[in-house]
Structure 1
Amino acid sequence: MNVIEARRPRHLIVRVDRGEELPAALTHALDEIEARAGWIQGTGTLEAAELAPADPTTPAQTQSRRIDSPCEVVSLSGSIASQNGVSTARLWATLARESELGLQLAAGELLWARAHSLELLVTAFDDVILARVPDGHSRNTVLAAQTGALSTPATSGYVSMSEVASTPHEGATQLAAEPARRQTPIPTRTVVDPSPAQAAQGPAIPQRLPRQAQQPEEVYPEVGDLVTHFHFGDCEVIESDGERIRLRQERDGRVREVALTMLKIEAPTIDPTTSKHRFKLSRKH
Protein backbone atom coordinates (compact mmCIF):
# COMPACT_ATOMS: atom_id res chain seq x y z
CA MET A 1 0.00 0.00 0.00
CA ASN A 2 1.31 3.41 -1.00
CA VAL A 3 0.03 6.32 1.16
CA ILE A 4 1.26 9.90 0.66
CA GLU A 5 -0.22 13.04 2.25
CA ALA A 6 -0.74 16.03 -0.07
CA ARG A 7 -0.65 19.35 1.79
CA ARG A 8 -0.74 21.78 -1.13
CA PRO A 9 -3.81 21.07 -3.28
CA ARG A 10 -5.22 23.39 -5.95
CA HIS A 11 -8.86 23.06 -6.96
CA LEU A 12 -9.28 23.60 -10.70
CA ILE A 13 -12.69 24.07 -12.31
CA VAL A 14 -12.68 22.95 -15.95
CA ARG A 15 -15.38 23.43 -18.59
CA VAL A 16 -14.96 21.03 -21.50
CA ASP A 17 -16.25 22.69 -24.64
CA ARG A 18 -18.52 20.81 -27.04
CA GLY A 19 -16.62 18.64 -29.48
CA GLU A 20 -13.42 18.46 -27.44
CA GLU A 21 -12.02 14.98 -26.97
CA LEU A 22 -11.02 13.27 -23.75
CA PRO A 23 -8.60 12.46 -22.32
CA ALA A 24 -6.25 14.16 -24.81
CA ALA A 25 -7.65 17.71 -24.52
CA LEU A 26 -7.78 17.49 -20.73
CA THR A 27 -4.18 16.27 -20.49
CA HIS A 28 -3.04 19.15 -22.70
CA ALA A 29 -4.98 21.76 -20.71
CA LEU A 30 -3.61 20.56 -17.36
CA ASP A 31 -0.08 20.35 -18.73
CA GLU A 32 -0.37 23.99 -19.84
CA ILE A 33 -0.83 25.10 -16.22
CA GLU A 34 1.68 22.56 -14.87
CA ALA A 35 -0.90 20.44 -13.04
CA ARG A 36 0.69 17.04 -13.53
CA ALA A 37 -0.47 15.22 -10.39
CA GLY A 38 -4.05 15.15 -9.19
CA TRP A 39 -7.52 13.65 -9.02
CA ILE A 40 -10.38 14.26 -11.45
CA GLN A 41 -14.17 14.21 -11.01
CA GLY A 42 -16.85 15.25 -13.48
CA THR A 43 -20.44 15.34 -14.60
CA GLY A 44 -22.33 16.16 -17.81
CA THR A 45 -23.12 14.59 -21.18
CA LEU A 46 -21.12 13.09 -24.04
CA GLU A 47 -21.81 12.87 -27.76
CA ALA A 48 -19.90 9.57 -28.10
CA ALA A 49 -17.54 7.44 -26.05
CA GLU A 50 -15.35 4.36 -26.01
CA LEU A 51 -15.19 2.28 -22.82
CA ALA A 52 -13.03 -0.65 -21.82
CA PRO A 53 -14.52 -3.05 -19.23
CA ALA A 54 -12.28 -4.03 -16.34
CA ASP A 55 -10.15 -7.10 -16.96
CA PRO A 56 -6.81 -7.15 -15.09
CA THR A 57 -5.38 -9.84 -17.38
CA THR A 58 -5.98 -8.06 -20.69
CA PRO A 59 -4.94 -4.60 -21.96
CA ALA A 60 -7.95 -2.27 -21.85
CA GLN A 61 -7.82 -1.35 -25.54
CA THR A 62 -8.45 -4.93 -26.72
CA GLN A 63 -12.00 -5.09 -25.27
CA SER A 64 -13.26 -1.57 -25.89
CA ARG A 65 -16.96 -0.88 -26.42
CA ARG A 66 -17.96 2.04 -28.67
CA ILE A 67 -21.04 4.18 -27.92
CA ASP A 68 -22.00 6.37 -30.88
CA SER A 69 -25.05 8.06 -29.36
CA PRO A 70 -25.55 10.76 -26.71
CA CYS A 71 -25.15 9.51 -23.16
CA GLU A 72 -25.37 10.88 -19.63
CA VAL A 73 -22.32 10.80 -17.34
CA VAL A 74 -23.55 9.06 -14.18
CA SER A 75 -20.06 9.15 -12.67
CA LEU A 76 -16.62 10.18 -13.90
CA SER A 77 -13.36 10.02 -11.97
CA GLY A 78 -9.69 9.48 -12.62
CA SER A 79 -6.20 10.82 -12.13
CA ILE A 80 -3.48 12.82 -13.82
CA ALA A 81 0.02 11.36 -13.46
CA SER A 82 3.32 10.95 -15.25
CA GLN A 83 4.10 7.87 -17.34
CA ASN A 84 7.48 7.51 -19.01
CA GLY A 85 8.06 11.22 -18.43
CA VAL A 86 4.77 12.31 -20.08
CA SER A 87 1.61 13.51 -18.31
CA THR A 88 -1.38 11.23 -18.84
CA ALA A 89 -4.99 11.37 -17.65
CA ARG A 90 -6.80 8.08 -16.98
CA LEU A 91 -10.56 8.24 -16.53
CA TRP A 92 -13.22 5.75 -15.44
CA ALA A 93 -16.89 6.38 -16.15
CA THR A 94 -20.38 5.03 -15.77
CA LEU A 95 -22.59 6.15 -18.67
CA ALA A 96 -26.35 5.89 -19.23
CA ARG A 97 -28.28 6.09 -22.49
CA GLU A 98 -31.79 5.47 -23.76
CA SER A 99 -32.20 2.53 -26.16
CA GLU A 100 -35.01 0.48 -27.69
CA LEU A 101 -34.81 -1.77 -24.63
CA GLY A 102 -34.98 1.13 -22.20
CA LEU A 103 -32.25 2.68 -20.07
CA GLN A 104 -28.84 1.04 -20.49
CA LEU A 105 -25.71 1.47 -18.37
CA ALA A 106 -22.10 0.96 -19.43
CA ALA A 107 -19.02 1.30 -17.23
CA GLY A 108 -15.26 0.97 -17.54
CA GLU A 109 -12.14 2.93 -18.39
CA LEU A 110 -12.94 5.88 -20.63
CA LEU A 111 -10.47 5.44 -23.49
CA TRP A 112 -11.99 8.21 -25.61
CA ALA A 113 -14.96 10.54 -25.54
CA ARG A 114 -16.32 13.56 -27.41
CA ALA A 115 -17.88 16.06 -25.05
CA HIS A 116 -21.30 17.67 -25.39
CA SER A 117 -21.56 19.46 -22.06
CA LEU A 118 -19.04 18.44 -19.42
CA GLU A 119 -17.78 20.04 -16.20
CA LEU A 120 -14.81 18.78 -14.20
CA LEU A 121 -13.25 19.39 -10.80
CA VAL A 122 -9.53 18.66 -10.75
CA THR A 123 -7.67 18.61 -7.44
CA ALA A 124 -4.01 19.17 -8.33
CA PHE A 125 -1.28 18.24 -5.85
CA ASP A 126 1.69 20.62 -6.08
CA ASP A 127 3.81 18.82 -3.46
CA VAL A 128 3.30 15.24 -4.68
CA ILE A 129 4.68 13.35 -7.67
CA LEU A 130 2.32 10.76 -9.15
CA ALA A 131 3.64 8.22 -11.63
CA ARG A 132 2.15 5.25 -13.46
CA VAL A 133 4.28 2.13 -13.11
CA PRO A 134 3.76 -1.44 -14.37
CA ASP A 135 1.58 -3.64 -12.18
CA GLY A 136 3.33 -6.88 -11.34
CA HIS A 137 -0.01 -8.74 -11.15
CA SER A 138 -1.51 -7.60 -14.46
CA ARG A 139 -0.66 -6.05 -17.81
CA ASN A 140 -1.87 -2.61 -16.73
CA THR A 141 -0.29 0.20 -14.70
CA VAL A 142 -0.85 1.44 -11.15
CA LEU A 143 -0.24 4.74 -9.38
CA ALA A 144 2.91 5.29 -7.32
CA ALA A 145 3.27 8.46 -5.24
CA GLN A 146 6.12 10.26 -3.55
CA THR A 147 6.58 13.68 -2.00
CA GLY A 148 8.16 16.29 -4.22
CA ALA A 149 7.27 19.28 -6.37
CA LEU A 150 6.29 18.41 -9.91
CA SER A 151 3.67 21.13 -10.48
CA THR A 152 3.60 24.88 -9.86
CA PRO A 153 0.53 27.13 -9.71
CA ALA A 154 0.37 28.94 -13.02
CA THR A 155 -2.86 30.78 -13.67
CA SER A 156 -6.28 31.93 -12.55
CA GLY A 157 -9.17 33.34 -14.53
CA TYR A 158 -11.42 32.21 -17.40
CA VAL A 159 -12.82 28.72 -16.88
CA SER A 160 -12.38 26.49 -19.94
CA MET A 161 -10.34 23.57 -21.26
CA SER A 162 -7.61 25.94 -22.45
CA GLU A 163 -7.49 27.92 -19.21
CA VAL A 164 -8.68 26.83 -15.77
CA ALA A 165 -9.45 28.65 -12.52
CA SER A 166 -7.34 27.83 -9.48
CA THR A 167 -8.89 28.44 -6.04
CA PRO A 168 -6.29 29.27 -3.36
CA HIS A 169 -5.84 26.71 -0.61
CA GLU A 170 -6.60 27.93 2.90
CA GLY A 171 -3.16 26.82 4.12
CA ALA A 172 -1.24 28.70 1.43
CA THR A 173 -0.28 31.56 3.77
CA GLN A 174 1.27 29.17 6.28
CA LEU A 175 3.10 27.22 3.61
CA ALA A 176 4.62 30.40 2.22
CA ALA A 177 6.51 30.81 5.50
CA GLU A 178 8.11 27.34 5.60
CA PRO A 179 11.84 27.49 6.51
CA ALA A 180 12.83 25.55 3.40
CA ARG A 181 11.60 28.38 1.22
CA ARG A 182 13.82 31.10 2.71
CA GLN A 183 16.76 30.99 5.10
CA THR A 184 16.48 34.66 6.12
CA PRO A 185 13.62 36.49 7.87
CA ILE A 186 10.82 37.70 5.64
CA PRO A 187 10.53 41.53 5.71
CA THR A 188 7.33 43.30 6.68
CA ARG A 189 5.03 43.77 3.71
CA THR A 190 2.58 46.51 2.79
CA VAL A 191 -0.66 45.55 1.05
CA VAL A 192 -1.60 47.96 -1.75
CA ASP A 193 -5.23 48.30 -2.87
CA PRO A 194 -5.51 47.02 -6.45
CA SER A 195 -6.73 49.13 -9.32
CA PRO A 196 -9.97 48.04 -11.07
CA ALA A 197 -7.90 46.44 -13.85
CA GLN A 198 -5.77 44.51 -11.34
CA ALA A 199 -8.84 43.42 -9.37
CA ALA A 200 -10.20 41.76 -12.50
CA GLN A 201 -7.03 39.68 -12.72
CA GLY A 202 -7.46 38.15 -9.27
CA PRO A 203 -6.38 38.79 -5.65
CA ALA A 204 -3.46 41.19 -5.41
CA ILE A 205 -0.05 39.91 -4.27
CA PRO A 206 1.26 41.85 -1.23
CA GLN A 207 4.06 44.22 -2.22
CA ARG A 208 7.48 43.57 -0.69
CA LEU A 209 10.11 46.11 0.34
CA PRO A 210 12.32 47.66 -2.37
CA ARG A 211 15.30 45.65 -3.53
CA GLN A 212 17.70 47.92 -1.57
CA ALA A 213 16.15 46.74 1.72
CA GLN A 214 16.87 43.09 0.93
CA GLN A 215 20.11 41.33 1.67
CA PRO A 216 22.52 41.67 -1.29
CA GLU A 217 22.46 37.97 -2.22
CA GLU A 218 18.65 37.93 -2.52
CA VAL A 219 17.77 39.14 -6.00
CA TYR A 220 14.19 38.61 -7.15
CA PRO A 221 12.16 39.98 -10.06
CA GLU A 222 10.23 43.09 -9.08
CA VAL A 223 7.36 45.02 -10.61
CA GLY A 224 8.44 46.32 -14.00
CA ASP A 225 11.23 43.80 -14.49
CA LEU A 226 11.20 41.42 -17.45
CA VAL A 227 11.54 37.64 -17.23
CA THR A 228 11.98 34.78 -19.66
CA HIS A 229 10.02 31.86 -18.18
CA PHE A 230 10.89 28.33 -19.34
CA HIS A 231 7.22 27.61 -20.14
CA PHE A 232 5.47 30.98 -20.60
CA GLY A 233 8.23 32.74 -22.58
CA ASP A 234 8.89 36.50 -22.35
CA CYS A 235 6.80 38.22 -19.67
CA GLU A 236 6.64 41.42 -17.62
CA VAL A 237 6.33 41.34 -13.81
CA ILE A 238 3.17 43.16 -12.70
CA GLU A 239 3.16 42.09 -9.00
CA SER A 240 5.80 40.61 -6.69
CA ASP A 241 6.34 39.87 -3.00
CA GLY A 242 9.68 38.03 -3.22
CA GLU A 243 8.07 34.59 -3.06
CA ARG A 244 5.35 34.73 -5.71
CA ILE A 245 5.13 36.90 -8.81
CA ARG A 246 2.37 37.65 -11.27
CA LEU A 247 3.44 37.84 -14.91
CA ARG A 248 1.85 39.25 -18.07
CA GLN A 249 2.85 37.27 -21.16
CA GLU A 250 4.13 39.46 -23.99
CA ARG A 251 2.68 37.27 -26.74
CA ASP A 252 -0.99 37.42 -25.70
CA GLY A 253 -1.29 39.50 -22.50
CA ARG A 254 -2.40 36.49 -20.42
CA VAL A 255 -1.66 36.79 -16.69
CA ARG A 256 0.21 33.97 -14.95
CA GLU A 257 1.11 33.51 -11.28
CA VAL A 258 4.14 31.46 -10.26
CA ALA A 259 6.00 30.56 -7.06
CA LEU A 260 9.66 31.65 -7.16
CA THR A 261 10.62 28.87 -4.75
CA MET A 262 9.85 26.35 -7.51
CA LEU A 263 12.15 28.10 -9.98
CA LYS A 264 15.85 28.60 -10.57
CA ILE A 265 16.51 32.34 -10.93
CA GLU A 266 19.58 33.36 -12.88
CA ALA A 267 21.34 36.70 -12.34
CA PRO A 268 19.59 39.48 -14.27
CA THR A 269 20.87 41.07 -17.44
CA ILE A 270 19.94 44.40 -19.00
CA ASP A 271 17.43 44.13 -21.82
CA PRO A 272 18.94 46.06 -24.76
CA THR A 273 15.57 47.28 -26.02
CA THR A 274 13.97 48.52 -22.79
CA SER A 275 17.05 48.91 -20.49
CA LYS A 276 15.11 46.96 -17.84
CA HIS A 277 16.35 44.01 -15.78
CA ARG A 278 15.61 40.65 -17.43
CA PHE A 279 15.66 37.43 -15.40
CA LYS A 280 15.77 33.90 -16.77
CA LEU A 281 13.48 31.50 -14.85
CA SER A 282 14.04 27.77 -15.27
CA ARG A 283 12.66 24.68 -13.54
CA LYS A 284 14.43 23.98 -10.24
CA HIS A 285 13.73 20.23 -10.15
Structure 2
Amino acid sequence: MKAELERISNKPANSFLVKSVVKAQRLDFKSAYHYHPEYELIWTIKSKGRRFIGNHITPYQPGELIFLGKNIPHCWITNEYSEQIVVQMKEDFLGMDFLNTPECQAIKNMLKESYRGLEFFGDTKARIQKKMELLYHQREGSFQRLMQLLDILSDLAESQEFEYLSMEEYRTAYNHKEFERIQIIYDYIHNHYKFDLSIDKAAKLIYLTKSAFCKFIKRKTKKTFTQIVNEVRLGKATELLIETDKSIMQICYEVGYNDPSYFFRQFSKMIGSSPKQFREAYK
Protein backbone atom coordinates (compact mmCIF):
# COMPACT_ATOMS: atom_id res chain seq x y z
CA MET A 1 0.00 0.00 0.00
CA LYS A 2 1.40 3.36 -1.00
CA ALA A 3 1.55 5.89 1.82
CA GLU A 4 -0.26 9.19 1.33
CA LEU A 5 1.51 12.52 1.79
CA GLU A 6 0.11 14.45 4.75
CA ARG A 7 0.41 18.21 4.44
CA ILE A 8 0.98 19.88 7.80
CA SER A 9 0.42 23.60 8.21
CA ASN A 10 1.72 25.56 11.18
CA LYS A 11 -0.05 28.65 12.41
CA PRO A 12 1.80 31.86 11.47
CA ALA A 13 2.76 32.45 15.11
CA ASN A 14 4.32 28.99 15.54
CA SER A 15 7.48 27.40 14.17
CA PHE A 16 6.37 23.93 15.30
CA LEU A 17 3.11 22.16 16.08
CA VAL A 18 1.94 20.57 19.34
CA LYS A 19 -1.44 18.88 19.36
CA SER A 20 -3.62 16.29 21.01
CA VAL A 21 -4.89 13.63 18.60
CA VAL A 22 -8.05 11.92 19.83
CA LYS A 23 -9.99 9.36 17.80
CA ALA A 24 -12.80 6.95 18.63
CA GLN A 25 -10.91 4.28 16.68
CA ARG A 26 -8.46 3.89 13.80
CA LEU A 27 -9.44 1.00 11.58
CA ASP A 28 -9.00 2.30 8.03
CA PHE A 29 -5.43 1.47 7.07
CA LYS A 30 -5.72 3.10 3.65
CA SER A 31 -6.52 6.54 5.07
CA ALA A 32 -4.23 6.22 8.10
CA TYR A 33 -0.99 5.18 6.39
CA HIS A 34 0.91 8.38 5.58
CA TYR A 35 4.21 10.25 5.59
CA HIS A 36 5.31 13.88 5.82
CA PRO A 37 8.55 15.89 5.65
CA GLU A 38 8.26 16.93 9.30
CA TYR A 39 9.92 15.16 12.22
CA GLU A 40 7.40 13.82 14.70
CA LEU A 41 7.43 12.95 18.40
CA ILE A 42 4.46 10.81 19.47
CA TRP A 43 3.34 9.87 22.97
CA THR A 44 0.49 7.34 22.94
CA ILE A 45 -1.52 7.92 26.10
CA LYS A 46 -4.44 5.58 25.43
CA SER A 47 -5.13 2.64 23.08
CA LYS A 48 -3.35 -0.49 21.99
CA GLY A 49 -3.28 -2.05 18.57
CA ARG A 50 -0.84 -2.50 15.71
CA ARG A 51 1.72 0.02 14.49
CA PHE A 52 3.31 0.31 11.05
CA ILE A 53 6.59 2.26 10.94
CA GLY A 54 8.56 1.68 7.77
CA ASN A 55 8.89 -2.09 7.63
CA HIS A 56 8.40 -2.38 11.40
CA ILE A 57 4.99 -3.93 12.11
CA THR A 58 4.27 -4.88 15.73
CA PRO A 59 1.65 -4.59 18.47
CA TYR A 60 1.81 -1.42 20.57
CA GLN A 61 0.71 -0.54 24.10
CA PRO A 62 -0.29 2.67 25.92
CA GLY A 63 2.65 4.77 27.08
CA GLU A 64 4.95 4.27 24.11
CA LEU A 65 7.19 7.16 23.04
CA ILE A 66 8.25 7.27 19.38
CA PHE A 67 10.38 9.74 17.41
CA LEU A 68 9.99 9.56 13.64
CA GLY A 69 12.29 10.97 11.00
CA LYS A 70 11.03 12.85 7.98
CA ASN A 71 9.18 10.97 5.25
CA ILE A 72 9.01 7.60 7.01
CA PRO A 73 5.58 6.01 6.30
CA HIS A 74 3.65 5.21 9.46
CA CYS A 75 0.27 4.65 11.08
CA TRP A 76 -1.34 3.24 14.22
CA ILE A 77 -4.33 0.89 13.78
CA THR A 78 -6.70 0.18 16.67
CA ASN A 79 -10.36 -0.54 17.38
CA GLU A 80 -10.13 1.38 20.66
CA TYR A 81 -10.44 5.00 21.74
CA SER A 82 -7.05 6.55 20.99
CA GLU A 83 -5.34 9.54 22.56
CA GLN A 84 -1.88 10.86 21.66
CA ILE A 85 0.16 14.02 22.15
CA VAL A 86 2.09 14.81 18.98
CA VAL A 87 4.88 17.30 18.22
CA GLN A 88 5.73 18.04 14.58
CA MET A 89 8.57 20.21 13.29
CA LYS A 90 10.45 20.85 10.09
CA GLU A 91 14.21 20.37 10.00
CA ASP A 92 14.71 24.13 9.62
CA PHE A 93 12.06 25.21 12.14
CA LEU A 94 14.66 27.46 13.80
CA GLY A 95 16.45 28.46 10.62
CA MET A 96 18.82 26.68 8.27
CA ASP A 97 21.97 27.21 10.34
CA PHE A 98 20.68 26.41 13.83
CA LEU A 99 21.49 22.69 13.72
CA ASN A 100 24.99 23.44 12.45
CA THR A 101 26.00 25.14 15.69
CA PRO A 102 28.39 23.14 17.93
CA GLU A 103 25.83 23.03 20.73
CA CYS A 104 23.30 21.24 18.51
CA GLN A 105 25.43 18.42 17.14
CA ALA A 106 23.83 15.79 19.37
CA ILE A 107 20.35 16.86 18.24
CA LYS A 108 21.48 16.93 14.62
CA ASN A 109 22.85 13.40 14.92
CA MET A 110 19.61 12.13 16.47
CA LEU A 111 17.56 13.66 13.65
CA LYS A 112 19.86 11.98 11.15
CA GLU A 113 19.36 8.58 12.81
CA SER A 114 15.59 8.96 13.15
CA TYR A 115 14.81 7.93 9.57
CA ARG A 116 14.45 4.40 10.97
CA GLY A 117 12.10 5.46 13.75
CA LEU A 118 13.24 5.49 17.39
CA GLU A 119 11.40 4.13 20.42
CA PHE A 120 12.49 5.50 23.80
CA PHE A 121 11.97 3.69 27.09
CA GLY A 122 13.05 3.65 30.74
CA ASP A 123 13.78 6.84 32.67
CA THR A 124 14.05 8.79 29.42
CA LYS A 125 10.48 7.94 28.48
CA ALA A 126 9.17 8.92 31.91
CA ARG A 127 10.98 12.28 31.82
CA ILE A 128 9.94 13.13 28.28
CA GLN A 129 6.29 12.31 28.91
CA LYS A 130 6.23 14.80 31.80
CA LYS A 131 7.96 17.41 29.65
CA MET A 132 5.53 16.82 26.77
CA GLU A 133 2.59 17.35 29.10
CA LEU A 134 4.08 20.70 30.15
CA LEU A 135 4.81 21.54 26.52
CA TYR A 136 1.22 20.84 25.50
CA HIS A 137 -0.19 23.21 28.13
CA GLN A 138 2.23 26.08 27.52
CA ARG A 139 1.08 29.08 25.53
CA GLU A 140 1.34 28.81 21.75
CA GLY A 141 4.04 31.01 20.26
CA SER A 142 5.73 31.58 23.62
CA PHE A 143 9.48 31.54 24.20
CA GLN A 144 8.93 29.17 27.13
CA ARG A 145 7.31 26.63 24.82
CA LEU A 146 10.24 26.80 22.41
CA MET A 147 12.75 26.31 25.23
CA GLN A 148 10.74 23.34 26.50
CA LEU A 149 10.90 21.71 23.05
CA LEU A 150 14.66 22.26 22.83
CA ASP A 151 15.04 20.71 26.27
CA ILE A 152 13.06 17.67 25.08
CA LEU A 153 15.16 17.30 21.92
CA SER A 154 18.38 17.63 23.92
CA ASP A 155 17.21 15.02 26.43
CA LEU A 156 16.33 12.58 23.64
CA ALA A 157 19.60 13.23 21.82
CA GLU A 158 21.70 12.43 24.90
CA SER A 159 19.76 9.29 25.82
CA GLN A 160 20.96 5.73 25.29
CA GLU A 161 17.54 4.30 26.22
CA PHE A 162 16.18 3.74 22.73
CA GLU A 163 15.98 1.18 19.96
CA TYR A 164 15.65 1.45 16.20
CA LEU A 165 12.35 0.28 14.76
CA SER A 166 12.53 0.02 10.97
CA MET A 167 15.35 -1.87 9.28
CA GLU A 168 18.34 0.16 8.07
CA GLU A 169 17.76 -0.87 4.46
CA TYR A 170 14.25 0.59 4.51
CA ARG A 171 13.74 3.89 2.70
CA THR A 172 10.42 3.82 0.85
CA ALA A 173 7.02 2.25 1.31
CA TYR A 174 6.20 -1.19 0.00
CA ASN A 175 4.48 -1.26 -3.34
CA HIS A 176 0.76 -1.97 -3.44
CA LYS A 177 1.01 -5.72 -4.12
CA GLU A 178 3.64 -6.28 -1.42
CA PHE A 179 1.67 -4.49 1.25
CA GLU A 180 -1.53 -6.30 0.30
CA ARG A 181 0.29 -9.59 0.79
CA ILE A 182 1.73 -8.53 4.15
CA GLN A 183 -1.69 -7.35 5.32
CA ILE A 184 -3.21 -10.72 4.39
CA ILE A 185 -0.55 -12.54 6.41
CA TYR A 186 -0.94 -10.30 9.46
CA ASP A 187 -4.72 -10.61 9.30
CA TYR A 188 -4.38 -14.40 9.15
CA ILE A 189 -2.13 -14.40 12.21
CA HIS A 190 -4.28 -11.98 14.21
CA ASN A 191 -7.47 -13.91 13.43
CA HIS A 192 -6.03 -17.36 14.19
CA TYR A 193 -3.25 -16.81 16.75
CA LYS A 194 -5.08 -19.02 19.30
CA PHE A 195 -4.70 -22.03 17.02
CA ASP A 196 -1.88 -23.87 15.28
CA LEU A 197 -0.67 -21.63 12.46
CA SER A 198 0.56 -23.24 9.27
CA ILE A 199 3.23 -21.76 7.02
CA ASP A 200 1.78 -23.85 4.19
CA LYS A 201 -1.67 -22.29 4.63
CA ALA A 202 -0.24 -18.79 4.98
CA ALA A 203 1.74 -19.29 1.78
CA LYS A 204 -1.36 -20.42 -0.10
CA LEU A 205 -3.21 -17.26 0.99
CA ILE A 206 -0.83 -15.16 -1.11
CA TYR A 207 -0.30 -17.79 -3.82
CA LEU A 208 3.33 -18.60 -3.04
CA THR A 209 5.16 -21.84 -2.44
CA LYS A 210 6.37 -22.45 1.11
CA SER A 211 9.95 -21.68 0.11
CA ALA A 212 9.02 -18.49 -1.77
CA PHE A 213 6.77 -17.40 1.11
CA CYS A 214 9.55 -17.74 3.70
CA LYS A 215 11.94 -15.77 1.52
CA PHE A 216 9.32 -13.05 0.87
CA ILE A 217 8.49 -12.58 4.57
CA LYS A 218 12.15 -12.53 5.59
CA ARG A 219 13.07 -10.07 2.83
CA LYS A 220 10.22 -7.66 3.49
CA THR A 221 9.98 -7.72 7.30
CA LYS A 222 13.49 -8.95 8.27
CA LYS A 223 11.68 -11.52 10.44
CA THR A 224 10.64 -15.13 10.06
CA PHE A 225 7.00 -16.21 10.07
CA THR A 226 7.57 -17.75 13.51
CA GLN A 227 8.99 -14.48 14.88
CA ILE A 228 5.93 -12.56 13.68
CA VAL A 229 3.59 -15.15 15.20
CA ASN A 230 5.43 -14.87 18.53
CA GLU A 231 5.18 -11.06 18.45
CA VAL A 232 1.41 -11.22 17.94
CA ARG A 233 0.84 -13.93 20.55
CA LEU A 234 3.03 -12.25 23.15
CA GLY A 235 1.35 -8.91 22.46
CA LYS A 236 -1.98 -10.56 23.26
CA ALA A 237 -0.43 -12.16 26.35
CA THR A 238 0.70 -8.79 27.71
CA GLU A 239 -2.83 -7.41 27.21
CA LEU A 240 -4.33 -10.30 29.18
CA LEU A 241 -1.72 -9.99 31.94
CA ILE A 242 -2.60 -6.33 32.41
CA GLU A 243 -6.35 -6.43 31.89
CA THR A 244 -7.41 -9.75 33.47
CA ASP A 245 -6.79 -11.89 36.53
CA LYS A 246 -6.38 -15.05 34.48
CA SER A 247 -3.53 -17.31 35.53
CA ILE A 248 -0.31 -17.17 33.57
CA MET A 249 -0.74 -20.79 32.46
CA GLN A 250 -4.27 -20.05 31.27
CA ILE A 251 -2.99 -17.08 29.27
CA CYS A 252 -0.20 -19.22 27.83
CA TYR A 253 -2.67 -21.66 26.29
CA GLU A 254 -5.22 -18.99 25.38
CA VAL A 255 -2.78 -17.13 23.13
CA GLY A 256 -1.84 -20.27 21.24
CA TYR A 257 1.13 -21.82 23.04
CA ASN A 258 1.04 -25.56 23.76
CA ASP A 259 4.46 -25.65 25.43
CA PRO A 260 4.69 -23.48 28.60
CA SER A 261 8.50 -23.65 28.61
CA TYR A 262 8.64 -22.23 25.09
CA PHE A 263 6.13 -19.53 26.08
CA PHE A 264 8.25 -18.45 29.06
CA ARG A 265 11.45 -18.39 26.98
CA GLN A 266 9.91 -16.33 24.21
CA PHE A 267 8.21 -13.95 26.65
CA SER A 268 11.47 -13.28 28.47
CA LYS A 269 13.34 -12.82 25.19
CA MET A 270 10.86 -10.35 23.67
CA ILE A 271 9.48 -8.52 26.73
CA GLY A 272 12.60 -8.61 28.89
CA SER A 273 10.99 -10.09 31.99
CA SER A 274 8.97 -13.08 33.10
CA PRO A 275 5.16 -12.93 32.76
CA LYS A 276 4.89 -12.69 36.57
CA GLN A 277 7.35 -9.77 36.74
CA PHE A 278 5.55 -8.04 33.87
CA ARG A 279 2.17 -8.33 35.60
CA GLU A 280 3.54 -7.09 38.93
CA ALA A 281 5.08 -4.05 37.22
CA TYR A 282 1.63 -2.95 36.04
CA LYS A 283 -0.18 -3.42 39.36
**Shared fold, TM over 0.5:** no
Identify, as 1 or 2, the structure richer in strand. Answer: 1
TM-score norm. by structure 2 comes to 0.28
TM-score norm. by structure 1 comes to 0.27
Identify, as 1 or 2, the structure richer in helix. Answer: 2
Q: Which has the larger radius of gyration?
A: 1
